Structure 1
């Protein structure tokens, strides 16, 4: 008897890819008090999420057997060192004190944003995010000829958890812009060197 013909079709997604600059990584020390803000590393240059792990790979008389074994997710981040950047202190202190670090990878793209409603019925914009507790593998500060750069790896406990991260349009604008409009004589000095450049973005 001839095999029954099967054709379930194909599927494709079309559109513009997500820009890497719209992937933001937020950090928080595990000993930060309840209600503390997340910290966006300053001058981030790159971030890499690796979904890794080992597999059981054995040969038998009847062929190869491959089974999942462990989860070994990790996040690699690189940024330039900016005075007052709390992210560097969070990583350095966690490494020295043997503590973990909370990390969020957030896709800040309106095409994937959703709306969540709080207990008062107010709508809030949220973005897809991965969250995990990470152990600092190594912090490297490169004092080369150019700008001082920092690179570090966070090895994730268990595996990354999927959820959402709230960000308003005002918060996104404040985090993206280096400085605000000002009028003549309102401030003095160059931007950056005279201040720590910290942006305190209000909570929702």
Structure 2
């Protein structure tokens, strides 16, 4: 047998922070052109790429073949007044509807410039790697314990999650990462995040 050495490939660098992975949802009844909803105060998200396999023994050895895709996404958030995501999930569960969901890696190291069209000189937009799927709500658990009220829900994905890109401008990234912006004395009144804060 001839000697073969094709070398190895390695990757070095800092790992991706979990806080840079955001999940967006949308009601399937939302009109064309509607915005995606970022569930407020996400504390945990997990994506499972799963499925069954056919596994049989024969006289000639083991046969293992892929059978089904069973991807799912689980998300945990704190409940915030005005956050539409809980109502979307609850309504979808009660009415038997699906929910659109995106998992977006909003890390500038992964950003790419995508052309608006193939035309010469067409403007480009910043996009990030994403996975998308139509999900069926498996469960919605709202925890009313002694601490903060939290919601935990699982979406079982139809078919499988699809790879693509998700547009986010620098302004959107900044507004999503920061709770509030700089202000000068006397611009607003009241505590941040309460109904008594005003312009």
TM-score range normalised by the length of the shorter chain: over 0.9
Q: How many angstroms apart in 1 are the aligned matches of 2:194 and 2:61?
A: 64
**Equivalence for 2:87:** 89
Which aligned runs of 4 or more in structure 1 are off by greater than 4 angstroms?
none
Please, what TM-score do these two structures have when normalized by structure 2? 0.95
Matches within 5 A, 1:166-177: 166-177=167-178
**Equivalence for 2:61:** 63
**Equivalence for 2:22:** 24
Segment of structure 1 superposing worse, 147-156 or 180-189: 180-189
* Contact in 1 for aligned 2:138/2:155 (Cα 8 Å): yes
Matches within 5 A, 1:42-61: 42-61=40-59
Q: 1:74 aligns with which of 72, 75, 78?
A: 72
Shift of 1:193: 2.3
**Equivalence for 2:144:** 143
* Contact in 1 for aligned 2:190/2:196 (Cα 8 Å): no
**Equivalence for 1:100:** 98
Shift of 1:156: 0.2
> In the TM superposition, what whole-angstrom CA distance separates every residue of 1:90-111 from its partner, at most 9, and x where no partner exists?
1111111111000000001111
Q: How many angstroms apart in 1 are the aligned matches of 2:92 and 2:36?
A: 15
Where does the alignment leave 5 or more consecutive residues of structure 1 unmatched? 197-204
Shift of 1:63: 1.1
Please, what TM-score do these two structures have when normalized by structure 1? 0.92
**Equivalence for 2:38:** 40
> In the TM superposition, what whole-angstrom CA distance separates every residue of 1:35-58 from its partner, at most 9, and x where no partner exists?
000011101001000000000000
Root-mean-square deviation over aligned CA pairs: 1.3
* Contact in 1 for aligned 2:53/2:68 (Cα 8 Å): yes
Q: Count how many residue pairs are aligned between Structure 1 and Structure 2.
A: 194
Shift of 1:195: 6.8
**Equivalence for 2:160:** 159
Where does the alignment leave 5 or more consecutive residues of structure 2 unmatched? none
